[in-house]
């Protein structure tokens, strides 16, 4: 596991963004862990989060020209990641969408830089892929090219079928997905800490029931 992945998981646990217990998912499953990116809710946390995204994006060496953050969670993410990338020597423009198109003033469906070239979509997680699909449609409608998606955590969990939502995005939309960390990284992190052995066992059991094949 890359150092930044390990640091990211520790950061999420310390911030209370990654929690252990019993949580009901949208699919009605009882999950032994929960990731709530909405709890990255102050300047220091958002700044650090942007740095982790930037490290993952740069490590992936994926070509892109700008960032796009789908409303609402993608808006602060796009801004934070753009700042972190600039500090790392990679200054790129960013844009985000309105929930409803504006018909006065500057008008339009997006705010920020004009969508152009290869656009990397940034979001917290991919649950059903709806936000990504809507973003792809908007980007293409503006004459730009969606080139990938960057997310914080890939749960490697099956959706309605055998594939995970991330795998479906890769297969159906033909887009690479960059995750700062995934379930494998989380299990490796927990396995190195004896005090977290109960959480490790519960998550391993959950994965046996609902996990998708990461290499499928």
**Spatial distance between the Cα atoms of 154 and 72, rounded to a whole number of angstroms:** 19
Residue 102 near residue 119 (C-beta atoms within 8 A)? no
66 bridge partner residues: 119
Show the tokens assigned to 198. Answer: 């109960």
- Residues catalogued as catalytic: 102, 104
């Amino acid at each position: 596991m890359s150092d930044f992945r390990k640091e990211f998981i520790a950061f999420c646990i310390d911030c209370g963004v990654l929690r252990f217990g019993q949580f009901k998912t949208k699919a009605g499953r009882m999950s032994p862990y929960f990731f709530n990116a909405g709890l990255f809710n102050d300047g220091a946390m958002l700044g650090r989060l942007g740095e982790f995204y930037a490290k993952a994006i740069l490590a992936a060496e994926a070509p892109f020209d700008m960032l796009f953050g789908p409303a609402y969670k993608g808006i602060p993410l796009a801004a934070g990641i753009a700042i972190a990338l600039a500090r790392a020597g990679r200054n790129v423009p960013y844009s985000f969408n309105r929930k409803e198109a504006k018909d006065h003033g500057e008008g339009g469906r997006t705010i920020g830089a004009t969508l152009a070239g290869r656009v990397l979509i940034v979001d917290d997680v991919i649950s059903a892929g709806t936000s990504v699909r809507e973003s792809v449609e908007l980007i293409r409608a503006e004459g730009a090219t969606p080139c990938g998606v960057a997310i914080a955590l890939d749960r490697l969990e099956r959706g309605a079928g055998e594939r995970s939502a991330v795998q479906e995005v890769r297969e159906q939309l033909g887009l690479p997905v960059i995750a700062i960390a995934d379930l494998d990284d989380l299990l490796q992190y927990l396995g190195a800490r004896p005090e977290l052995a109960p959480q490790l066992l519960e998550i391993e059991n959950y994965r046996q029931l609902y996990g998708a094949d990461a290499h499928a």
